[in-house]
Amino acid sequence: MTVDFTLSPRPLNSAMQRLQDFGEPMRFRRKETLWSAGEPARGVFLVTSGCVKLHRANGNRRVTLDLAHRGELLGLDGSQAGQERSCSATALSLVKGVFVDAARLRGLAIQHPEIWDLLLGATRERATHFAQDLEELATMSVEQRLAKRLLDIGSSVGLADARGVFIPLRLTRVELSEMAWCRSETVIRLMTKWDELGWVKTQREGIVLCSLEGLESLLKQG
């Protein structure tokens, strides 16, 4: 199994550009909450820069459902009136984007059918991603899941340099454990192991993937 490592940010298509033109510009600091699970869903948010964590509480633990980057449409439950947020959204970095309330979104979709296509496509993408996550949980080891998460993040926001691929996100061990659905102690053990192998280095400003081949080799194991 090989991760598609393109290092290319998702471009904003014409429908996204239209939402950007008509939406309300917003920005969030790192760790700031965009919305919380259970609150009224009043619209959608288009990420134009930065990274957003989508998560839910599971008893006393939080589980990260997804990370969203530039060009991704969040809060699709806000496209219909009377819905509640199905998960919480928190900024993992400085996040910029535009918010489009449900009423304006419906009006724009009537005038511009490509926006309906955008909403349907985003909904399908989220459903597909959720199904893939369930498959990973059922078939992958914890080490494979953590490696896959780091490779996916690197593919989305990584910056290639002499060290390897730099992920410009200050992810804590707890946040990584929420992404890999495991204990933080397990993440510490694995990151220490990978550091000793020269595969991954943790720095103050982010994480360096020094050996994509090493991490990808884990995904090929049965």
Strand pairing category for 73-74 and 24-28: unpaired
pLDDT in tens, 50-64: 999 999 987 777 889
* Single pTM value for the model: 0.82
CB-based contact 45:97 (threshold 8 Å): yes
Question: Measuring CA to CA, how many Å separate 6 from each of 2, 141, 151, 159?
Answer: 12, 25, 11, 10
Sheet architecture: strand order including 61-68: 33-35, 88-91, 52-58, 61-68
pLDDT in tens for each of the 222 residues of the chain?
Answer: 333 333 345 566 788 888 888 899 999 999 999 999 999 999 999 999 999 999 998 777 788 988 999 888 999 887 776 789 999 999 999 999 999 999 898 888 888 888 888 888 888 888 888 888 888 878 999 999 999 999 999 998 899 999 999 999 999 999 999 999 999 999 999 999 999 999 999 998 999 999 999 999 999 886
Question: Measuring CA to CA, how many Å separate 120 from each of 10, 68, 88, 127?
Answer: 18, 17, 21, 11
According to DSSP, residue 84 is labeled B
